[in-house]
Amino acid sequence: MSQVMADGLTIAEAAERTGVSTHTLRYYERIGAFREPPERDASGHRRYSDRDLSWITLLTRLRATGMPIATILRYAELAREGNGTAADRKALLLAHRAEVVAHIDELQRDLELIDHKINIYEEIERTRIGR
Protein backbone atom coordinates (compact mmCIF):
# COMPACT_ATOMS: atom_id res chain seq x y z
CA MET A 1 0.00 0.00 0.00
CA SER A 2 1.32 3.46 -0.81
CA GLN A 3 2.33 5.92 1.88
CA VAL A 4 -0.59 7.93 3.24
CA MET A 5 -0.16 11.68 3.54
CA ALA A 6 1.18 12.85 6.91
CA ASP A 7 -2.27 14.09 7.96
CA GLY A 8 -3.99 10.85 6.90
CA LEU A 9 -6.91 10.05 4.66
CA THR A 10 -10.50 11.14 5.01
CA ILE A 11 -13.12 8.46 5.57
CA ALA A 12 -14.13 8.68 1.89
CA GLU A 13 -10.51 8.24 0.79
CA ALA A 14 -10.01 5.33 3.19
CA ALA A 15 -13.21 3.72 1.93
CA GLU A 16 -12.06 4.07 -1.67
CA ARG A 17 -8.59 2.67 -0.92
CA THR A 18 -9.90 -0.33 0.99
CA GLY A 19 -13.07 -1.06 -0.96
CA VAL A 20 -15.17 -0.75 2.21
CA SER A 21 -18.09 1.65 2.45
CA THR A 22 -17.94 4.65 4.75
CA HIS A 23 -20.95 3.17 6.55
CA THR A 24 -18.95 -0.01 7.24
CA LEU A 25 -15.97 1.98 8.50
CA ARG A 26 -18.19 3.90 10.92
CA TYR A 27 -19.85 0.63 11.98
CA TYR A 28 -16.48 -1.05 12.65
CA GLU A 29 -15.41 1.92 14.75
CA ARG A 30 -18.73 2.04 16.65
CA ILE A 31 -18.62 -1.66 17.62
CA GLY A 32 -14.94 -1.55 18.62
CA ALA A 33 -13.48 -3.58 15.75
CA PHE A 34 -10.49 -1.26 15.31
CA ARG A 35 -7.31 -1.92 17.19
CA GLU A 36 -7.32 1.81 17.84
CA PRO A 37 -9.95 4.25 16.60
CA PRO A 38 -8.73 6.45 13.74
CA GLU A 39 -7.24 9.79 14.71
CA ARG A 40 -9.39 12.90 14.38
CA ASP A 41 -8.34 16.24 12.97
CA ALA A 42 -8.97 19.60 14.64
CA SER A 43 -12.50 19.71 13.24
CA GLY A 44 -13.25 16.19 14.49
CA HIS A 45 -13.10 14.41 11.13
CA ARG A 46 -11.55 10.95 11.03
CA ARG A 47 -8.08 10.71 9.51
CA TYR A 48 -6.93 7.21 8.53
CA SER A 49 -3.26 6.19 8.65
CA ASP A 50 -1.44 3.39 6.82
CA ARG A 51 -1.82 1.31 9.98
CA ASP A 52 -5.59 1.92 9.95
CA LEU A 53 -5.78 0.87 6.29
CA SER A 54 -3.86 -2.33 7.06
CA TRP A 55 -6.25 -3.09 9.91
CA ILE A 56 -9.28 -2.44 7.68
CA THR A 57 -7.82 -4.83 5.11
CA LEU A 58 -7.40 -7.48 7.81
CA LEU A 59 -10.99 -6.97 9.03
CA THR A 60 -12.27 -7.22 5.46
CA ARG A 61 -10.39 -10.46 4.79
CA LEU A 62 -11.46 -12.01 8.09
CA ARG A 63 -15.10 -11.19 7.33
CA ALA A 64 -14.76 -12.43 3.73
CA THR A 65 -13.54 -15.76 5.07
CA GLY A 66 -16.49 -16.06 7.41
CA MET A 67 -15.11 -14.93 10.74
CA PRO A 68 -18.02 -13.84 12.95
CA ILE A 69 -18.10 -10.24 14.18
CA ALA A 70 -17.91 -11.48 17.79
CA THR A 71 -14.61 -13.23 17.03
CA ILE A 72 -13.27 -10.16 15.24
CA LEU A 73 -14.16 -8.08 18.30
CA ARG A 74 -12.32 -10.55 20.52
CA TYR A 75 -9.29 -10.36 18.22
CA ALA A 76 -9.36 -6.54 18.33
CA GLU A 77 -9.68 -6.61 22.12
CA LEU A 78 -6.65 -8.89 22.38
CA ALA A 79 -4.70 -6.66 19.99
CA ARG A 80 -5.45 -3.61 22.15
CA GLU A 81 -4.05 -5.47 25.16
CA GLY A 82 -0.65 -5.72 23.47
CA ASN A 83 2.03 -8.30 22.76
CA GLY A 84 1.20 -10.31 25.86
CA THR A 85 -1.82 -11.66 23.98
CA ALA A 86 0.10 -12.82 20.90
CA ALA A 87 -0.42 -16.51 21.73
CA ASP A 88 -4.17 -15.97 22.15
CA ARG A 89 -4.40 -14.07 18.86
CA LYS A 90 -2.40 -16.77 17.11
CA ALA A 91 -4.70 -19.47 18.52
CA LEU A 92 -7.75 -17.53 17.34
CA LEU A 93 -6.30 -17.21 13.84
CA LEU A 94 -5.24 -20.87 13.75
CA ALA A 95 -8.78 -21.94 14.63
CA HIS A 96 -10.20 -19.67 11.94
CA ARG A 97 -7.64 -20.95 9.44
CA ALA A 98 -8.78 -24.52 10.08
CA GLU A 99 -12.37 -23.47 9.37
CA VAL A 100 -11.33 -21.73 6.15
CA VAL A 101 -9.37 -24.79 5.00
CA ALA A 102 -12.38 -27.02 5.72
CA HIS A 103 -14.59 -24.66 3.71
CA ILE A 104 -12.14 -24.68 0.80
CA ASP A 105 -12.15 -28.50 0.89
CA GLU A 106 -15.95 -28.52 0.81
CA LEU A 107 -15.99 -26.07 -2.09
CA GLN A 108 -13.47 -28.24 -3.95
CA ARG A 109 -15.77 -31.26 -3.58
CA ASP A 110 -18.71 -29.16 -4.77
CA LEU A 111 -16.70 -28.01 -7.78
CA GLU A 112 -15.77 -31.59 -8.64
CA LEU A 113 -19.46 -32.54 -8.67
CA ILE A 114 -20.30 -29.58 -10.90
CA ASP A 115 -17.45 -30.51 -13.27
CA HIS A 116 -18.74 -34.10 -13.34
CA LYS A 117 -22.22 -32.92 -14.35
CA ILE A 118 -20.79 -30.61 -17.02
CA ASN A 119 -18.81 -33.54 -18.44
CA ILE A 120 -21.99 -35.63 -18.62
CA TYR A 121 -23.77 -32.88 -20.58
CA GLU A 122 -20.79 -32.42 -22.88
CA GLU A 123 -20.84 -36.15 -23.60
CA ILE A 124 -24.58 -35.98 -24.35
CA GLU A 125 -23.96 -33.08 -26.74
CA ARG A 126 -21.14 -34.95 -28.49
CA THR A 127 -23.37 -38.01 -28.88
CA ARG A 128 -26.23 -35.94 -30.35
CA ILE A 129 -23.94 -34.11 -32.75
CA GLY A 130 -22.29 -37.38 -33.83
CA ARG A 131 -25.59 -38.95 -34.93
Domain boundaries, the chain: 11-129
SS3 of 4-71: the string is CCCCCECHHHHHHHHCCCHHHHHHHHHHCCCCCCCEECCCCCEEECHHHHHHHHHHHHHHHCCCCHHH
Local confidence band at 1 (pLDDT 50, 70, 90 cut-offs)? very low
pLDDT in tens, 83-131: 999 999 999 999 999 999 999 999 999 999 999 999 999 999 999 887 6
Which of the residue ranges 2-6, 33-37, 99-103 would you say has the lowest mean pLDDT? 2-6
The CATH fold assigned to 11-129 is Multidrug-efflux Transporter Regulator; Chain: A; Domain 2 (1.10.1660)
